Amino acid sequence: MHALRCTLMIGLSAFACMAQSGATGQVQPQPQKMEVVLEQQVSKTARVVNPQHVFRTGDLVRFRFRSTFDGYLYVTDQTSSGRYLKLFPGTKAGADNRIVRGREYLIPATSGSWFRIDKPAGYETVFFTVTPSRVGERVTPPPPPVLAPPPAQPLPADMLPRCDDGIFRARGECLDDKAGASAISPNEDAPGGDGSGKLTPREIVVIRKTDSSVIAPATDGDAPIIYQFRIAHH
Amino acid sequence: MNKLLIVSLLFSLSVVGARAQSATEATPDGLTARDAFWSASDLVNVAPNPAAKAASASAPAKKQAKTHAVVRHKAAPKEMDSTAGETSNTVLAESHRRGPQIDPQLVTASGYGSEPHLVRVSVTTSAQPFGLRYTLLQRQSGGDYGEVFPETVFHSGDKVKLSVMANQAGYLYIIEQGSSGSWVPLFPAQNAAPESNHVAAGRVYLVPSASDESFQFNQQPGKEHLFILLSREPIADLDQVIFGLQHKTSAPAPTSVAPASASAAPAMLEADNRITDALIERLQSRDLTLVKDTSQQETTDAQYGEKAIYVVNHGKDAASRVFSSLILDHE
């Protein structure tokens, strides 16, 4: 993996539910959408941060995920070598990746687990794939072994995250317009749910907010929903 | 994001008018969205145009009116029954059904160009044209902000603000769609108080509001899409509105009549000089009524003495909305 390391993996059991706020009542039919919140550990507590926040080496982050529909979630990290490393589900993170509408999930799953931002500076791209059925039931090839990434090379200066003071950018916080959730362009590589085969994603709508990202399918169908979340760090 | 700045110096009032017009109808007798906007009975006071301080402070109303008297004049307000949608002399006598109306000279004196041609509308709020006036303000070398045409080509480092006025009370929302296709709600701020985006009739709201804040174009050329939405009622789920925008701007033209349930949706109007006929056709459905009033046609500097975009919704639905999109070109 390039710069995103999962710390305190012990105890990372079933990825499944962490908090279940609002899940006990009768769920009203809602349009399909999901929300991802990026959290940073500050003074041993979780603090919601702007998805475009530029982190520093050593910062600890995690994702909080919630959807209005049932499905299966796959989280994949793209290494600096271009290979995809499956973050979830996995043997340590748990194999049960089913998500239930209205429930909140943490990635990593347990309360003591965070991703650590490591060198070198750049962008860490994490792919979220949500499918209506388990990908393993449809895609039979096992995931290939993950090769050790080559030694990381420093990025050119113009490819490093920078505090964006451009149009419509709030003041006071170092934000990078390239960071946060976004759709995958047609020419862009995207991982399959299990990090092996390629899937054809649905068109999506991405709404960037100051403390969360909302993603929704723009079309009907059973095709997977795939989007990327770029974490910027110095 | 930013608190609203209310520029308040209010002026005097006068009497109202009435108008009803299908959104897709041609404007009768040259009546424009601008005229309809200024005809609302809630709009009896108006704050001075912050981008036209010199005009409002020094230029007499008569002089301004004369300067821009090419098209507009001080003819008696046209009398139109808002429910019938046609001229009706009988309505003139029913003054108790009318509300006040702004003095056209006040419009000019306050820095909003030539005197509008007012029409009479019912005092029933939902029957009046629900309108939005907005301009793009660019920071000048001296530090002041002046109105510029939306089709201005901006350059890196240029700083702009939006100046927005409603002719009736409502709730303002501003959404940006970036070049990546992602949507960003700009206003109100995500964690703002529930009423923080409430706007009053005739007041000017600057976004961003703080005097030392502005939108600045960065180093990356491209087009910034802004969507400005004014709603009579607060919108509980702005995400749904954005999803609708995405669908309507990317969906193919409808080939059949929209389902009946769609008729319950609030009517919207959109005015943008860059909106193509094809896009308007795609946007048209039973829940949408559109007019193609453009900033160029409506508010060229020579014609009206201002560089504003007026968007008016004649829908009678209490939940009516006014919607406009704006593309800022940046090279």
Note the pLDDT tens digit of each residue in B196-217: 999 999 999 998 888 878 888 8
Which range, A106-110, A211-215, B2-6, is most confident? Answer: A211-215
What would the DSSP string read from start to end of chain A?
--SEEEE--TT----SBS--TT-SSPPPP----EEEEEEEEETTEEEEE-TTBEE-TT-EEEEEEEESS-EEEEEEEE-TTS-EEEEESBTTTBS--EE-TT-EEEESSSTT-EEEE-SSPEEEEEEEEEESS-GGGT--SPPPPPPPPPPP-PPPGGGS-----STT--SSS-B-TT-EEEEPPTTS----TTSSS---PPPEEEEE-SS-EEEEESS-SSS-EEEEEEEEE-
Check: CB of residue A124 under 8 Å from CB of residue A77: yes
Q: Which is more confidently placed, B285 or A142?
A: A142
Tell if the CB–CB gap between A208 and B183 is shorter than 8 Å.
yes
Q: Which is more confidently placed, A222 or B179?
A: A222
| Rounded distance between C-alpha atoms, residue A109 and residue A9, angstroms | 9
- A166, A170, A203: residue with CB nearest B1: A170
Nearest-Cα distance to chain B for A167, in Å, is: 4
For residues A146-158, average pLDDT? 51
Size of interface A-B (CB pairs under 8 A): 69
Tell if the CB–CB gap between B1 and A165 is shorter than 8 Å.
no
Strand duo A60-67 + A34-42: pairing: antiparallel
- A164, A180, A216: residue with CB nearest B218: A164
Percentage of residues of chain B with pLDDT beyond 90: 16
Q: Which is more confidently placed, A163 or B323?
A: B323
- Predicted confidence (pLDDT) at residue A38 exceeds the cutoff of 90: yes
- Contact of B219 with chain A, judged by CB distance below 8 Å, is answered with yes
Residue ranges of E strands in B64-208? 80-81, 86-87, 130-139, 145-148, 153-154, 159-166, 170-177, 183-187, 198-199, 204-207
Tell if the CB–CB gap between A214 and B246 is shorter than 8 Å.
no
Which residues numbered 310-329 in B keep a CB inside 8 Å of some CB on A?
328
**Amino acid identity at B52:** A
Element (H, E) at B327: strand B321-330
Give A95's pLDDT tier (boundaries 50, 70, 90).
low
Mean pLDDT score of chain B = 66
Least confident of A24-33, A142-151, B96-105: A142-151
Q: Which residue of B has its CA nearest to A182?
A: B182
Token code pair at residue A1: 């993996």
CA distances from B310 to B102, B190, B269, B294 (A): 17, 27, 11, 8
User: Which of B158, B179, B180, B186 should one mutate to test binding to chain A, selecting the residue with the greatest count of A CBs within 10 A?
Assistant: B180
Strand duo A180-183 + A84-88: pairing: unpaired
Q: Note the pLDDT of residue A51.
A: 93
- Predicted confidence (pLDDT) at residue B120 exceeds the cutoff of 50: yes
The C-alpha torsion from A113 through A115 and A117 to A122, rounded to 10°, is: -170
Tell if the CB–CB gap between B247 and A171 is shorter than 8 Å.
no
First vs last C-alpha separation in chain B? 26
Give B320's pLDDT tier (boundaries 50, 70, 90).
confident
B contacts of A167 (beta carbons < 8 Å): 215-218, 224, 328, 330
Find, among A128, A162, A127, the residue nearest to A53 by Cα. A162
Token code pair at residue B16: 């109202």
Q: Note the pLDDT of residue B32.
A: 80
Least confident of A53-57, A111-115, B315-319: B315-319
Tell if the CB–CB gap between A168 and B185 is shorter than 8 Å.
no
Q: Note the pLDDT of residue B296.
A: 30
Q: Residue B278's CB: how many other CB atoms inside 10 A?
A: 9
Nearest-Cα distance to chain A for B330, in Å, is: 10
Q: Residue B239's CB: how many other CB atoms inside 10 A?
A: 19
Which range, A81-95, A186-200, B113-127, is most confident? Answer: B113-127
- Contact of A166 with chain B, judged by CB distance below 8 Å, is answered with yes
Token code pair at residue A45: 């507590």
Tell if the CB–CB gap between A177 and B181 is shorter than 8 Å.
no
The DSSP letter of residue B261 is: G
Residue ranges of E strands in B159-256? 159-166, 170-177, 183-187, 198-199, 204-207, 215-216, 222-231
Tell if the CB–CB gap between B219 and A166 is shorter than 8 Å.
yes
Check: CB of residue A181 under 8 Å from CB of residue A215: yes
Q: What residues does each domain of chain B span? A: 5-127, 130-330
Least confident of A146-150, B63-67, B83-87, B101-105: B63-67
Q: Which residue of B has its CA nearest to A209?
A: B184
- Contact of B136 with chain A, judged by CB distance below 8 Å, is answered with no
Percentage of residues of chain A with pLDDT beyond 90: 24
Nearest-Cα distance to chain A for B97, in Å, is: 43
Least confident of A84-98, A102-116, B171-185: A84-98
Least confident of A96-100, A211-215, B12-16, B199-203: B12-16
pLDDT, tens digit (0-9, with 9 covering 90-100), for B260-318: 333 333 333 434 333 333 443 333 322 222 333 333 333 444 467 788 888 888 766 66
Token code pair at residue B310: 């007026």
Cα B190-B193-B196 angle, rounded to 5 deg: 95
Q: Which residues are bridge partners to B9 per DSSP?
A: none
CA distances from A113 to A11, A64, B244 (A): 8, 12, 38
Least confident of A40-54, B87-101, B140-154: B87-101
Find, among B291, B311, B296, B298, the residue nearest to B72 by Cα. B298
Give B224's pLDDT tier (boundaries 50, 70, 90).
confident
Which range, A7-16, A31-40, A143-152, A159-168, is most confident? Answer: A31-40
- Predicted confidence (pLDDT) at residue A32 exceeds the cutoff of 80: yes
A contacts of B224 (beta carbons < 8 Å): 167-168
Which residues numbered 176-195 in B keep a CB inside 8 Å of some CB on A?
176, 178, 180-186, 189-191
pLDDT, tens digit (0-9, with 9 covering 90-100), for B26-75: 344 456 888 888 988 888 889 999 887 543 433 333 333 332 222 233 33
**Three-state secondary structure readout of A198-233:** CCCCCCEEEEECCCCEEEEECCCCCCCEEEEEEEEE
Tell if the CB–CB gap between B190 and A33 is shorter than 8 Å.
no
- Contact of A188 with chain B, judged by CB distance below 8 Å, is answered with no
Token code pair at residue B57: 């402070």
The DSSP letter of residue B241 is: H
Mean pLDDT score of chain A = 73
Find, among B219, B210, B209, the residue nearest to A166 by Cα. B219
| Rounded distance between C-alpha atoms, residue A15 and residue A33, angstroms | 20
- Contact of B240 with chain A, judged by CB distance below 8 Å, is answered with yes
- Predicted confidence (pLDDT) at residue A218 exceeds the cutoff of 80: yes
First vs last C-alpha separation in chain A? 17
Check: CB of residue A161 under 8 Å from CB of residue A223: no
Give A213's pLDDT tier (boundaries 50, 70, 90).
very high
Element (H, E) at B7: strand B5-7
The C-alpha torsion from B175 through B177 and B178 to B180, rounded to 10°, is: 140
For residues A102-114, average pLDDT? 82
Q: What three-state secondary structure class fits B295?
A: helix
Q: Which residues are bridge partners to A98 per DSSP?
A: A72
**Amino acid identity at A1:** M
Token code pair at residue A214: 């909302």
Percentage of residues of chain B with pLDDT beyond 70: 55
The DSSP letter of residue B33 is: H
Q: Note the pLDDT of residue A172.
A: 64
Q: Note the pLDDT of residue A136.
A: 60
B contacts of A176 (beta carbons < 8 Å): none
- B181, B185, B247: residue with CB nearest A209: B185
Q: Which residues are bridge partners to B309 per DSSP?
A: B134
| Rounded distance between C-alpha atoms, residue B165 and residue B179, angstroms | 27
Token code pair at residue B296: 């160029």
Least confident of A64-73, A157-166, A224-233, B72-81: B72-81
User: Which of B1, B182, B207 should one mutate to test binding to chain A, selecting the residue with the greatest count of A CBs within 10 A?
Assistant: B182
User: Which of B209, B239, B247 should one mutate to test binding to chain A, selecting the residue with the greatest count of A CBs within 10 A?
Assistant: B239
- Contact of A209 with chain B, judged by CB distance below 8 Å, is answered with yes
- Contact of B261 with chain A, judged by CB distance below 8 Å, is answered with no
For residues A11-39, average pLDDT? 56
